[in-house]
Amino acid sequence: MRRLPFHEDADAAAAGRVVAAVVAGGGVVLLPTETFYGLAANPFDQGAVSRVLAAKGRPAELALPVLCSDWQQLEALVEVPEVHRPRLSRIWPGALTVVLPCRQPLAVAPAGTLAVRIPGHAMLRAVLYRAGPLTGTSANRHGSPPCVDPDEALASVLEPPDLLLDGGRAPGGAASTLVDLTGAEPRVLREGALAWQEPYPWDAFG
C-alpha cells in the first residue's frame, strides 16, 4: 500500500494525479473528509464497489454514498429538483448528504437512488476534480464507529486499500446530515452536522 502526505495544497495536486490513476485501475483509496476517513473508489466500477463493500463487511444490497467536487459532477449523476436547488446551492460545500434519483445505472446505487455530497474539504474537492466522483463511505468495519485517525481506519477495515492519503487526524464530530429528497417532502434519515429542519436566513428569499 502506498501512503502519501495530504496536508498542503501542493499535496492535493500530487495526490489527485495518483488517486486518478489508482481508481482508474479499480483501486481503493483511504482518505480524509471534513468529518472522518472514508473509502474512495470509482462508483461506476462494479469490481471497485465490491472491494469497498468487502473492506467494510457491508451488505451488497446497501448503496454507497458518492462525493463530488462540484455541481457539474453531481448533476451528471443525479436529478436535482428545482425546488431544492436554491437551498442546496447555499449549503454546499458542506456536511450534508442528500438522496436523489440517479440519471443512469450505477454500480454503487442498485436501487436507482444515490446519496451525494459536495464535501466541505477543499483539498478533497481538488482531488475529486481530477479523479472524478468517488465513493465516500466511512473507512471502518460495518457497524463500527467511524475513524478520525488513518491508522485506526486501516486497522478497522477488513481489506487494505491501495493508497492512503494521510492528512493526520480528521476533525470528527457529527457525521454528515442525511436527507432523502426523492419524495414530495424532505425526509431526514440521519441527524448530523447540519440541522436540515431549522429555518435558514436565505429561505425567506427563495
DSSP letters for 79-129: PPPGGGHHHHHHH-SSSEEEEEEBSS--TT-TTSEEEEE--S-HHHHHHHH
pLDDT in tens, 49-108: 999 999 999 998 888 999 999 999 999 999 999 999 999 999 999 999 999 999 988 999
Residue 70 placed within a domain: yes
**Structural domains counted in the chain:** 1
Q: What is the CATH number of the domain that holds 22?
A: 3.90.870.10
Residue 195 placed within a domain: no
**What is the share, in percent, of the chain residues with pLDDT greater than 70?**
95
Residue 76 placed within a domain: yes
Q: Which domain holds residue 118?
A: 2-190
pLDDT-wise least confident of 45-49, 110-114, 125-129: 110-114
Mean pLDDT score across all residues of the chain: 93
Is there a cis peptide before residue 105, judged by omega within 30 degrees of 0?
no
pLDDT-wise least confident of 121-130, 157-166, 194-203: 194-203
List, edge to edge, every strand of the sheet that includes 113-117: 134-135, 66-67, 113-117, 96-101, 177-180, 187-190
pLDDT band at 205 (very low <50, low <70, confident <90, very high): very low
Residue 97 placed within a domain: yes
pLDDT of residue 61: 86
203 pLDDT more than 60: no
Mean per-residue pLDDT for 24-39? Answer: 97
